[in-house]
Amino acid sequence: MELLTALLLSGWPVLSTCFPRRYHFVEGPLNWTEAQTYCRRTYTDLAAAENSEEMKQLMDTVSSADHSSEFWLGLRTNNVFQWSDRFDGDGYRKWRSYEPDWIEEELCVRTENDIGWWDTSCMEQYPFICYTGTRLEPEFIAVKEPMTWFAAQSYCRENFTDLAKVWNNELHQKVQNLVPFGSSAWIGLSRPPLVWSDGTEFSLSWDGARPRGVSCGAASPKEPDSLDFQPCETRRAFVCYSRPAPVWRRVVKLRLSPADSVELNDPAVKADLLRKARLELKCKLKIQI
């Protein structure tokens, strides 16, 4: 008969990414990169918000500081292309001449036979290349039915592993051999249009200017539902965020032998276990209960 182990929670360090953000207004003025550096050294990062409640808290922080003009958030356009499965390899790219051209809506990548890669609107419809197998030994599969990039991604994930990823010339040639001459096909490279400084996925809806080229996100208490995108070299106030300290808990284990036939739901038994646990903490952890 196995030993019965009872656990009593009373204080063990726990780290969690679910703690709410605390926002800190800084007069500055600094450009976006300087503000990011300051926030990372002093707090956690430039302000990010995952939902409307956090954005309201952020705006309230700025308003309480009697600041009424625009300020930097930790938001900027993302000019980093990533593979669909987030594996970036060694940064291998096979762009054709003058690509990528960073046009606002051209966020997904297609390959055209031996010409190379283009950044293109994700809503265009092309055949596509999926892969299956391991990362070191992928097998590529051509799908002739034209789809948008997102539909192609879903198809590959449902039927194979993902859209094709290419990180060396050998794999590039294998993919190119599946694309008819003069035709194009989606591969698994894309970039999200916006990214928070700390890597949080941008999921808010907003009014106002749309980003073009390399630009950084600003907001104003006068228009709390709007975002603006401006040259990152502009100097202005900004908001940082931090996380509260983690909660501490401790775990104490009490072992009962098979001879200790007890009913753990009995209030008297529970009280006795608590008493023994506190004695154990005093003895072994040398803390005052």
Give the DSSP H/E element, type plus range, for residue 108: strand 108-112
17 contacts: CB under 8 Å, gap ≥ 6: none
Cite the beta strand spans of 204-277 per DSSP E: 216-220, 223-230, 236-242, 248-256
| Total structural domains within the chain | 3
| Residues 114 and 65 placed together within one structural domain of the fold | no
| Residues 165 and 198 placed together within one structural domain of the fold | no
194 close to 212: Cβ distance less than 8 angstroms? no
> 168, 190, 212: which is the final residue of a domain?
190
| Residues 58 and 40 placed together within one structural domain of the fold | yes
Q: What is the CATH number of the domain that holds 40?
A: 3.10.100.10
| Residues 30 and 46 placed together within one structural domain of the fold | yes
| Residues 165 and 98 placed together within one structural domain of the fold | yes
| Residues 87 and 121 placed together within one structural domain of the fold | yes
| Residues 265 and 122 placed together within one structural domain of the fold | no
Which residues constitute the domain of residue 213? 22-78+194-242
Please name every residue paired with 112 in a beta bridge, in sequence order, or none if there are none: 116, 184
Q: Give residue-wise pLDDT tens across range 32-85.
A: 999 999 999 999 999 999 888 899 999 999 999 999 899 999 988 767 788 887
| Residues 44 and 174 placed together within one structural domain of the fold | no
Q: Give residue-wise pLDDT tens across range 191-227.
A: 876 778 887 777 776 655 556 556 888 999 888 778 8
Instruction: List phi, psi (to 5°) of 238.
Output: -155, 170
Q: Give residue-wise pLDDT tens across range 78-115.
A: 677 888 877 665 678 899 888 887 776 788 999 987 78
As a whole number of angstroms, the distance between CA 218 and CA 193 comes to 16
